[in-house]
Amino acid sequence: MATRSEKSIEGLVKTTLFSHGTMEVRDLDKSRRFYEEFLGLECVRHHPFALMVRKNQYFSVVAVQVGDKVHPLHVLNHWGVDVPSREDVDRAHKLAHEHKDTYGIKKIMPATDQHGAYSFYLEDLDSNWWEIQHVAAGFHDIKFAKGDITVPARAQG
């Protein structure tokens, strides 16, 4: 029997690619500087009030400038970026503290081991949260290959 991850998923809508998401920013130029200089992400301004952000893939996040109408988010609503090693997480954590004022970083949480990753979270100048993490090679694909976990009835809601 094939697991869910081995099946070709066909929905009512015939999607071909999960291509992008959006986030709000106050000032595209300031946010772009953080994305490129601190996180090392690729950016392209494709609209007067928006830029696309990505790293080594087709999927991108569209940063939309909304000025002071930015909605603060909870840390559970975050964007994740992977780094090659635990040492790189620690280095990024140290750099976040060192460059907090330069990039307008609002909050930096401690680095911890959780959900199969070694990571920390930071809140950027636009109240978007970022998780900088190290995971084992193939971590993301392995999760899909394993398929769904069994959830006890009491945990479902």
pLDDT at 156 over 80: no
155 found inside a domain: no
At 81-118, the pLDDT tens digits run: 999 999 999 999 999 999 999 999 999 999 999 988 99
Average pLDDT, the chain: 90
134 found inside a domain: yes
Q: Two tokens at 21?
A: 């998401």
Radius of gyration of the chain from its Cα atoms, rounded to whole angstroms = 18
- Full domain range(s) for residue 98: 4-147
154 found inside a domain: no
pTM across the whole model? 0.83
157 found inside a domain: no
Bridge partners (DSSP) of residue 61 are 21, 53
**Confidence category of residue 11, pLDDT binned at 50, 70, 90:** confident
CA separation for the pair 82, 137 (Å, rounded): 11
The number of C-alpha atoms within 13 Å of 25 and in the hemisphere containing its C-beta is: 23
Residue with tokens 């200089």: 37
Mean pLDDT value across residues 1-5: 48
74 found inside a domain: yes
At 39-75, the pLDDT tens digits run: 999 999 999 999 999 999 889 999 999 999 999 999 9
138 found inside a domain: yes
Q: Two tokens at 23?
A: 């986030």
Which residue, among 140, 122, 114, 127, has the nearest Cα to 59 in the 3D structure? 140
19 found inside a domain: yes
At 121-149, the pLDDT tens digits run: 999 999 999 999 999 988 888 888 888 88
What integer pLDDT is reported at residue 8 of this predicted model? Answer: 66
156 found inside a domain: no
pLDDT at 2 over 90: no
Mean pLDDT value across residues 74-79: 94
Count up the domains in the chain and report the number. Answer: 1
> CB–CB of 50/65 below 8 Å?
yes
Which residue, among 108, 147, 148, 102, has the nearest Cα to 131 in the 3D structure? 108
pLDDT at 1 over 50: no
Query: Residue 135 belongs to a domain with what CATH number?
Result: 3.10.180.10
Most distant CA atoms of the chain, gap in Å: 54
> CB–CB of 52/62 below 8 Å?
yes
